[in-house]
Amino acid sequence: MSIIGGPFLSFRTFIILPESFLSLADLGGSEKVSKSKANENVCCPGGVNVGDEEVSRVTWQEYYKCRERITETNHINKGLLTLKRCVQALNERPRCAAAGRPLPRVPFNDSKLTLLLQPALSGESCTSVVVCCAPENPHAEETVQSLRFGELCSAVEHERSKDTSKEDGAAVKEALLRIDVEIRELEAAIRQKERWEWRETIRVDVVDEMDGDMVVCNEEEEMELGGRGAVEIKADDGRSQKKTTEHKVWGQVLVGAEDENARRDELIATKAKLLGEA
């Protein structure tokens, strides 16, 4: 992690740039419901009546509580399946590139697990995979699947480009410093040049003329709050016409530093792109 700043910069202008990431992931094993018995206590919401007497009832709260383990099992298996598909796609991409075929999509966004592991599985990263297996015969199927997954992971290759990360990082830091200095200069110029001015603008509105018999005053009808003379507004029968009107509106606007404001917005957008926030 690098911190960009110095004595001439305020606390707000310090920038933290991550230079590397360390990801540690403990993956759960693929669970078979027949072995884990995760669905053993699952029950349906509702009640059981014998005659006119209710003998038992399962509330919705109890239903969701008993499904917590099976839901967790589903999430684990879904994440592991998506991870396997990602590794298969990463292995297929170099072969497709060599054959001139379209590159397959890597489904990193299909699960939270693969979304978090995306930086470690793609790009210029060093990844180690430790596969744990059980030697007992009842776990032979899971053991074989785990070893095959480890074999798939070991076959993933990425072409490393020329190591220019240090030079690129230094260039980004220098560019950010220049941007911050120019932004401060522009803000000082904006404070000096900007002023409030009264401006006249023309506002255009489209209104309904309501020239028909749309409003009727019932002088003899008593109103809820007392008195007589209830006003009835009738529904539009389609005969009323639309009219365009223009109004002169006066208001105060900031003027005098339009070019400086535009340049500052451009620099802020550039800075966000360099920081990966755009």
Cα 215 to Cα 161, 227, 234, distances in angstroms: 77, 19, 6
Mean pLDDT of all residues belonging to the chain? 80
Asked if residue 18 has pLDDT above 70, the reply is no
- Report the SS3 class of residue 218: strand
- Check: CB of residue 198 under 8 Å from CB of residue 250: yes
Cα 47 to Cα 29, 55, 65, 278, distances in angstroms: 36, 8, 17, 54
Compute how many other C-beta atoms are within 10 angstroms of the C-beta atom of residue 169.
13
Asked if residue 168 has pLDDT above 80, the reply is no
Q: Which residue in 190, 176, 188, 171 sits closest to 268, CA to CA?
A: 176
Q: Where are the domains of the chain?
A: 24-154
Alpha helices in the chain, H assignment, sequence order: 33-36, 60-66, 68-99, 112-121, 140-154, 165-193, 258-274
- pTM comes to 0.48
Tokens linked to 62: 């109890």
Give how far the C-alpha of residue 228 lies from the chain's centroid of Cα atoms, to the nearest Å: 58
Tokens linked to 58: 């399962």
Q: What is the pLDDT of residues 192-219, one digit of tens each?
A: 999 888 888 888 888 776 655 667 777 7
Percent of the chain predicted with pLDDT > 70: 83
CA atoms within 13 A on the CB side of 273: 8
Domain 24-154 adopts which CATH fold? Methane Monooxygenase Hydroxylase; Chain G, domain 1 (1.20.58)
Which of 21-25, 47-51, 202-206, 265-269 is the most confident on average?
Answer: 265-269
Asked if residue 11 has pLDDT above 50, the reply is no
Task: State mean pLDDT over 163-180.
Answer: 77
DSSP 224-266: TTSSEEEEEEPPP-S---EEEEEEEEEEEEEES-HHHHHHHHH
Q: How far apart are CA 59 and CA 40, in angstroms?
A: 18
Q: How far apart are CA 3 and CA 1, in angstroms?
A: 7
pLDDT at 9: 44
